[in-house]
Amino acid sequence: MRFTISDRMRKQAHSVIPGGSHTYAKGDDQYPKLSPGFIERGSGCHVWDVDGNEFIEYGMGNRAVGLGHAYAPVVFAAKKALEQGCNFTRPAGIELDCAETFLASISGAEMVKFCKDGSDATSAAVRLARAYTGRDLIALCADHPFFSTDDWFIGTTPVDAGVPETTKRLTVTFRYGDIERATSLFAAHPGRIAALILEAARASDPPPGYLPALQRLCRANGALLILDEMITGFRWHAGGAQRLYGIVPDLSCFGKAMGNGFSVSALAGKQEYMRLGGLDHTDRPRVFLLSTTHGAETHALAAAIATMRIYQSEPVIEHLYRQGEALRRGLEQVIGRHGLDEYVRIVGRPSCLAYETRDREGSPSQAFRSLFLQETIRRGVLMPSLVVSYSHANLDIERTIEAVDGALEVYARALDEGVERYLVGPPSQIVYRRYNELPKRPACVSSTPPEAAGLIRSA
């Protein structure tokens, strides 16, 4: 498998694009040297790079593509909308159609406002919570990897250059599943916390009663509960993880699979809070909630409508769970056959799987992750994670298991002989690192991969 054109393009890209990519998780530092640098096209769960190499893909646009690449009904809807123009001086009628379709899916929400990415939605939720409560502090879950590119979140990570110290002090953290820790935050900052923001779940379900207890805690202390459903929305359940877990948050944020890869996201919530961004109230100051020139582009909303209606009428979620479980079962069998249960682990919900890679000492290893990626890529599978789509057929699952089987043979030899004997080029790195490092070839880097098991950051 050759990457001649990709390698040439990489050099050009880094000279005109900081990092060579517009998304950190897609950057060259996240992949081994022997990997496709640029994707040319995709269809279903298959992608082709600029060198013509074909792969079964499991990143699915960082979980944004739930149905499959270039999914025909979604593409048709977007194309039809584009033929009528995509951006006007006044709202387009499709904005109302999309809002009603969304609210029919996310039954706990009463109002919605669309934007383009997850960061805009979560930051708008934070601003709204601060305006409603008159408080400054935001409490976020330290166990969840990413909420926003904005200062209120990035200031909590090692990559906090450029974030004022005064801004950093306005965010506090709590641990997932630990209601006592969250309670202690309110005791430590009485009357100051505007909202708690977290994902409903990640690798495993929340502890019994945890989300309702968190909501009661917020209500008792005058704070709002914000659920980030960028990943869980349209993957845990067609109505979001909030429907699955029986919780109605004050505000919630959606994106990613909502438009099957098209750029659209949403801030949704109860009218009591959302109305502050509107024109009809006189009892409180106005909130400059979201005002994006491209937030309601017609083709993106058309794609979202088509996607949500497919989720409503077809067994998308059931397919994700079924194929994910088949993938997990097959991979665990080959891992066990190679005697690697302590070194390679499949984690997460069947509809959103990931994997962990460990070295001989059992420590998380970027070097072994890079080797695993290198060897699966060599066998025609691109799997920074193990996220299935509606387009992953049985044959794709079978071929993936075969590819992993072959990759694990190399993994086992590398455990005995040293990963540096098999890995071409330096290991991948974590996104949340304070400084860049010169390329080097250590066997182990004790950290967890960003897309496979969550971007690492300090609590």
pLDDT per position as a tens digit, 82-120: 999 999 999 999 999 999 999 999 999 999 999 999 999
Give the residue with greater pLDDT, 447 vs 7. Answer: 7
- Amino acid, single-letter form, for residue 275: R
| Residue 439 confidence (pLDDT) | 57
* Confidence class for position 440, pLDDT limits 50, 70, 90: low
* Confidence class for position 438, pLDDT limits 50, 70, 90: low
Average pLDDT over residues 375-387: 97
Domains and CATH numbers, the chain: 4-70+316-453 (3.90.1150.10), 87-296 (3.40.640.10)
Write out the E strands in 14-170: 39-43, 46-49, 54-57, 111-115, 137-141
Average pLDDT over residues 412-421: 97
Of the listed ranges 43-52, 190-199, 442-451, the one predicted with least confidence: 442-451
The number of beta carbons lying within 10 Å of the beta carbon of residue 367 is: 24
* Confidence class for position 276, pLDDT limits 50, 70, 90: very high
Average pLDDT over residues 384-393: 97
SS3 string, 159-186, reads: CCCCCCHHHHCCEEEECCCCHHHHHHHH
Q: What is the pLDDT of residues 315-368, one digit of tens each?
A: 999 999 999 999 999 999 999 999 999 999 999 999 999 999 999 999 999 999
pLDDT of 457 strictly over 50 = no
213-220 contacts at long range (C-beta below 8 A, 24 or more positions apart): 213/179, 214/179, 214/182, 215/247, 215/249, 217/179, 217/182, 217/183, 217/186, 218/250
Torsion-angle region of residue 418: left (phi > 0), alpha (psi -120 to 50) or beta? left
Q: What is the pLDDT of residues 146-174, one digit of tens each?
A: 999 999 999 999 999 999 999 999 999 99
- Does pTM surpass 0.75? yes
pLDDT of 456 strictly over 60 = no
93-100 contacts at long range (C-beta below 8 A, 24 or more positions apart): 94/296, 94/298, 94/301, 94/302, 94/305, 95/296, 95/301, 97/301, 97/305, 98/296, 98/301, 98/302, 98/304, 98/305
8 A C-beta contact, residue 251 and residue 262: no
Per-residue DSSP letter, 258: G
Highest mean pLDDT out of 201-205, 372-376, 452-456: 372-376
Average per-residue pLDDT in the chain? 93
* Confidence class for position 443, pLDDT limits 50, 70, 90: very low
pLDDT of 449 strictly over 90 = no
pLDDT of 413 strictly over 60 = yes
SS3 state at 290: coil
Average pLDDT over residues 288-302: 94
- Amino acid, single-letter form, for residue 335: I
How far apart are the C-alpha atoms of 368 and 288, rounded to whole Å?
Answer: 47
